[in-house]
Amino acid sequence: MNPFTRAQRRDARQVIARDEGGQMAVFIALIFQVLFVFFAMVINIGLIVHDKINLQNSVDIGAYYAAQRQAEMLNEIAHLNYQVRQDYKLLSWRLRALGTFGRESHPLFPERAGDPAPDAPVTDPAVRDYPAFCTAHLYWLENRRISPRENLCRQTAGTVIPEIPSIPVIIDTFSGNAIVRSIIEGFRSNFDDACRVKGPRSWLFGANVIYAYRRSIAARKSMISAVSKNVSSPIIPGDSGFRDLRVQSVYDGVRKTIVKNLTQANQNGFQFQAVNGLATGQCALVPNNSYPYWLKEIAIDPVFTYMSTTQVGAGCQVNVDLLQNVPPHPIISLNDPNNVLRQLATGEFPDGHPYRSSRGFEKNPWCMAYVGVKATSSPRKPFSPFGQPITLTARAFASPFGGRIGPWDRTGWPRASDHSANGNMVDALAVPRTVPPGGPPNRNGRPEFVPNYSRFPGDTLGLKSMAALAATRPVFMGALVAGGETLTMNHFANLATLDQSGNPIAWDPAANARARIGEAELAGIAPDLFDISYYSIEADYYGNYYWKTAGKNTPRYSPSADLPFQFSDLGAVINNPDEETFNVKRQVGLADVRTEPTAYWIVRKPEHLLTGWTQRGAVDFGFSPDFGTCRRSPDKAANQPPVPGDCISGGRSGYSVRIVHREYLRHQSHQLGGTDTGAGPILNPPPEDF
């Protein structure tokens, strides 16, 4: 029986109806799902933003990595191109310093050792404008042996040296006249032989100089071809793609760099692709070409002459003849049994051939070096377990900057041209470029086709300057002292084995060391103000580029049958423990002590090669205070590894890398062509869908 009365039960129901307790629980139960959805959305958005930032940062690093590999290759091309200029400078120096110093007006002529040598033109036109190879004087050992006091190099072209007169024997009671006559006839015979051989000896020296030049630039141009084709390859898997200095795939390097920086979520559905700007658009490789479109050779057709000697009646006539006219003498065949000298010294080669005379290469500014990387991922979020995951996309572009492969031939490069074609020559003293198909004009008697070069921007003399020719006078005179080393063809005998040694510099076979005249050669053509203004020069090419190890020392590129060795810097000797590592840094040190202090154009501190720069801040690309300075170099004695520029802390050599925006690469009004060439887009913008 219910203990409550009906009235009590009615009152209880009224109290319960009026009680509001517990209503929030119902409200919370209703809105909890909404709040949870918002909470999950915030978490998911936060995670997506985090993954997006992570993906973008990883792609930035991947693009930066690939652009660094690109910059390394451009730096190597720039240094190899500088070595081609070194070969051209050596050719010019040998012609003008060694080839003509037998003339008494030459600043290096020994009897003028105490004369001042101002930075003014040489007065003798045969030295200044029309130098010819001549070894017919007493400071060449081979000539001194047959004519101790004779100097045909000082003779004016066309001069006939009369014969030694014969003495007839009329009455010779005591045979005295016959003896004298016999002696004189011996002199006459020697005179005739000397006349016939002096011209061919001069030709042989000139031919050896040309041979060394062609073989040396051929080795460097072959490397430039290989490296430039590699850096112009697409970033794809496999051997046909772009590879780094250690012959490893840049594609794999980009992938590993990105993946190692990705979150676990971003690795889900990760894919990427990369674009190499130098393999894109009009700048891509052209089939069957020796070099890519963005790298143009500056081919030249220099003219060379030598002092020839001809028997005229009973006398000896001195003339100046073109080197292509080979003198008919047995000594030529004796010294050139395989006809190699005659082939390389008397004819030019077609464009693109490694032996083609050249001043190096110029880079097309309308082909911009850059790398683009685009990546996607599909991260799965904890509060979105079902349905399709969100696809994230990130792209980044990085570009090398701050380096120089070398100067253009002229100051202006029209966008539609494949070479610099406007304005004045940058090196106004160099042999003019030969632009096909017209070929060279008549060069005979035209001084501008005789090899010369600028020592600094705006130079008007080059090796026509007395100071320039006399710059190495101390070491040059030391090579000619009585009883000491003298100038001899034996010091150029190493040119016959140039392919094996890689050394075109004069070498003393008796001492198995560089000849003192070789030191004069290296010092005379050492880096100068013009070089550091227009080239990125690596102080230690051997350590940073020449050999790269892959388990053991192996060449990075397979040598061709014609060029069995990769050459190092000028002056380095392959497989020589003391000289194999010779580099530009050592050359600068040599020039500092082997040249006259008045040679102001010579670079005397290795840190002055550090003419590259990097950014000072995230958006600050201003001039670096470390330009041309080095606070710390690697300690070779402590086996510290080589670093680019041979500088750990301080200035840089060559190209640095920066992140750039895609729209910068697609900009339609770049002003890249220099003097009076207008504005326009680059020739290799990123693909539209990238």
For the beta sheet containing 160-161, the strands, ordered from the edge strand earlier in sequence to the opposite edge, are 160-161, 315-322, 305-312
Going by pLDDT thresholds of 50, 70 and 90, the confidence category of residue 551 is very low
pLDDT score of 81 more than 90: yes
In angstroms, rounded to a whole number, what is the distance separating the alpha carbons of residues 198 and 306?
11
- Residue type for position 261: N
What local confidence, expressed as pLDDT, does residue 564 receive? Answer: 54
What local confidence, expressed as pLDDT, does residue 196 receive? Answer: 84
Q: Going by C-beta distance under 8 Å and a sequence separation of 6 or more, which residues neighbour residue 436? A: 299, 351
Helix (H) or strand (E) holding 360: strand 358-363
In angstroms, rounded to a whole number, what is the distance separating the alpha carbons of residues 44 and 120?
78
Going by pLDDT thresholds of 50, 70 and 90, the confidence category of residue 4 is low
Q: Which residues face 513 on adjacent strands?
A: 508
Percent share of the chain, pLDDT over 70: 85
In angstroms, rounded to a whole number, what is the distance separating the alpha carbons of residues 201 and 195?
11
pLDDT score of 521 more than 80: yes
In angstroms, rounded to a whole number, what is the distance separating the alpha carbons of residues 590 and 475?
11
* pLDDT average, residue stretch 630-644: 89
Which has the minimum average pLDDT: 10-19, 39-48, 223-232, 450-459?
Answer: 10-19
* pLDDT average, residue stretch 133-138: 90
In angstroms, rounded to a whole number, what is the distance separating the alpha carbons of residues 310 and 325?
13
Q: Going by C-beta distance under 8 Å and a sequence separation of 6 or more, which residues neighbour residue 404? A: 78, 534, 535, 536, 611
What local confidence, expressed as pLDDT, does residue 186 receive? Answer: 40
pLDDT score of 372 more than 60: yes
pLDDT score of 290 more than 70: yes
Most confident of the following: 78-87, 178-187, 306-315? 78-87
Q: Degrees (nearest 5) of the Cα angle 303, 304, 305?
A: 130
pLDDT score of 622 more than 70: yes
pLDDT score of 288 more than 60: yes
What local confidence, expressed as pLDDT, does residue 181 receive? Answer: 38
203: nearest Cα among 330, 358, 354: 330
* pLDDT average, residue stretch 383-398: 82
Going by pLDDT thresholds of 50, 70 and 90, the confidence category of residue 620 is confident
Q: Going by C-beta distance under 8 Å and a sequence separation of 6 or more, which residues neighbour residue 560? A: 222
Look at phi and psi of residue 575 and say left if phi exceeds 0, alpha if psi is from -120 to 50, else beta.
Answer: left
Q: Degrees (nearest 5) of the Cα angle 538, 542, 543?
A: 90
What is this structure's pTM?
A: 0.89
Q: Of how many residues is the chain composed?
A: 690
What local confidence, expressed as pLDDT, does residue 171 receive? Answer: 47
Q: What average pLDDT does the chain have? A: 85
In 3-state terms, what secondary structure has residue 658? strand
Helix (H) or strand (E) holding 192: helix 176-231
Chain segment 30-58, per-residue pLDDT in tens: 777 776 666 677 777 888 888 999 999 99
Chain segment 233-287, per-residue pLDDT in tens: 999 998 889 998 888 899 999 999 999 999 999 999 999 999 999 999 899 887 7
What local confidence, expressed as pLDDT, does residue 292 receive? Answer: 94
* pLDDT average, residue stretch 618-642: 83
What local confidence, expressed as pLDDT, does residue 383 receive? Answer: 63
pLDDT score of 20 more than 70: no
In angstroms, rounded to a whole number, what is the distance separating the alpha carbons of residues 550 and 39?
54
In angstroms, rounded to a whole number, what is the distance separating the alpha carbons of residues 492 and 335?
12
What local confidence, expressed as pLDDT, does residue 233 receive? Answer: 94
Parallel, antiparallel or unpaired: strands 358-363 and 630-632? unpaired
In angstroms, rounded to a whole number, what is the distance separating the alpha carbons of residues 435 and 428?
16
* pLDDT average, residue stretch 657-676: 92
In angstroms, rounded to a whole number, what is the distance separating the alpha carbons of residues 429 and 453?
5
What local confidence, expressed as pLDDT, does residue 470 receive? Answer: 95
Under DSSP, the state recorded for 648 is S
Burial class (CB in 10 A: 0-12, 13-18, 19+), 188: middle
| 8 A C-beta contact, residue 95 and residue 304 | yes
Q: Which residues face 394 on adjacent strands?
A: 375
Give the residue extent of every domain in the chain: 44-665
Going by pLDDT thresholds of 50, 70 and 90, the confidence category of residue 7 is low
What local confidence, expressed as pLDDT, does residue 170 receive? Answer: 45
Helix (H) or strand (E) holding 80: helix 23-93
What local confidence, expressed as pLDDT, does residue 300 receive? Answer: 96
Under DSSP, the state recorded for 612 is B
| Ramachandran angles phi, psi of 274, nearest 5° | -130, 150
| Ramachandran angles phi, psi of 295, nearest 5° | -125, 115
